[in-house]
């Protein structure tokens, strides 16, 4: 873990039409760490996550003020394709494309113009290995991705993302569609991936945040109420709202 920020925001405000969804958010994600965002539904944690790869651009009537930095560079100065390649995202519901496993895996490569079959096959193998799917899937790469179990689908989505060599991975409640055992396995995967990637995860599950993350941010009604090392947040939170939430008094 080093101390430079892979992601950061400075007085970030975001509006959906007239709704003020993010209020003066100052936030950092450090390189090669796992940072968790927790908070009750509708507090803006997914919205904040989606700022970093400009997925909010897909929604009409979004207005953003303040700055968002990726590797200390303002994202408005980065071309959106480069940005999304660098800052990958895994969604709440596993979303493999309705094609074969192999086609899912080479989608990103083809999208970025990599046509070399042999090289692509090596990348597919490497990335499937990284998520622990290679042994299980190597003999059925050409079966439909939609026939996999939910956990394997989510792993496949992570592997698919790794093919385009992101530096930062955003995970938007990646385990909410999974059973507890699958959840634990995805968490183990996250900890393995931390060595090479910076991870920002939004989660409803406080135990998950406590288990996997190095830093935790607590959000409430669009504000980042508290941000600190995970051990601090869960043992001695400074803000009474944070304490109220993690002890289950509200949320």
Partner 1 sequence: MPMTDKALFKEKFIKGILVSFALSSLFFLFLIFIFIFIEGLPLFHKIGLKNIIFGFKWAPTKGSFGIFPMIVSSFFVTFGALIVGAPLGLSCAIYLSEYSGKKMKMFLKPALELLAGIPSVVYGFLGVIYIVPIVRDCLGGPGFSLLSASIILGIMILPTIISISFDALMGVPKTYREGSYAMGATKWQTIFRIVIPSASSGILASFILGMGRAIGETMAVIMIAGNALKIPTSILDPLRTLTGNIALELAYATGDHRLGLFSTGVVLLVIIMILNYIANFSIKRKIIK
Which residues contact partner 1 by CB under 8 A?
Answer: 53, 55, 58, 81-85, 88-89, 91, 93, 95-99, 107-108, 110-112, 146, 157, 160-161, 164
The nearest distance, CB 106 to partner 1, in angstroms, is 11
Cβ atoms within 10 Å of 70's Cβ, excluding its own: 22
C-beta of 48 vs 89, nearer to partner 1: 89
C-beta of 49 vs 206, nearer to partner 1: 49
Query: Which whole-number Å values give the CA distances from 128 to 79, 101, 109, 159, in the listed order?
Result: 28, 10, 14, 6
- Rounded to whole angstroms, the Cα distance separating 104 from 108 reads 8
C-beta of 168 vs 224, nearer to partner 1: 168
Q: Which two tokens stand for residue 55?
A: 């997925």
The nearest distance, CB 108 to partner 1, in angstroms, is 4
Collect all residues with Cβ–Cβ distance below 8 Å to 43 and sequence separation of at least 6. 219, 220, 221, 222
The nearest distance, CB 165 to partner 1, in angstroms, is 11
Please give the order of strands across the beta sheet that includes 19-30. Answer: 19-30, 5-16, 62-70, 73-74
C-beta of 107 vs 134, nearer to partner 1: 107
The nearest distance, CB 177 to partner 1, in angstroms, is 11
């Amino acid at each position: 873990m080093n101390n430079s920020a892979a992601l950061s925001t400075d007085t970030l405000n975001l509006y959906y039409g007239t709704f003020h969804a993010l209020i003066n958010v100052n936030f950092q994600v450090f390189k090669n760490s796992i940072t968790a965002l927790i908070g009750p539904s509708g507090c803006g944690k997914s919205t904040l996550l989606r700022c970093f790869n400009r997925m909010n651009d897909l929604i009409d009537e979004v207005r953003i003020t303040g700055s968002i930095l990726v590797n200390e560079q303002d994202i408005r100065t980065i071309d959106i394709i480069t940005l999304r390649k660098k800052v990958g995202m895994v969604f709440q519901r596993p979303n493999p494309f309705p094609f074969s496993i192999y086609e899912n895996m080479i989608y990103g490569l083809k999208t970025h113009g990599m046509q070399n079959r042999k090289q692509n096959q090596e990348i597919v193998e490497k990335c499937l290995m990284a998520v622990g799917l290679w042994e299980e899937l190597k003999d059925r790469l050409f079966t439909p991705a939609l026939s996999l179990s939910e956990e394997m689908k989510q792993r496949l989505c992570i592997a698919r993302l790794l093919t385009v060599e992101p530096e930062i991975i955003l995970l938007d409640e990646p385990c909410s569609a999974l059973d507890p055992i699958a959840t634990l396995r995805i968490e183990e995967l996250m900890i393995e991936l931390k060595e090479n990637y910076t991870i920002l995860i939004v989660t409803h599950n406080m135990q998950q945040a406590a288990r996997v993350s190095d830093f935790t941010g607590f959000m409430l009604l669009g504000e980042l109420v508290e941000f600190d090392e995970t051990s601090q947040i869960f043992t001695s939170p400074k803000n009474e709202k944070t304490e109220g939430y993690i002890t289950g008094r509200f949320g």
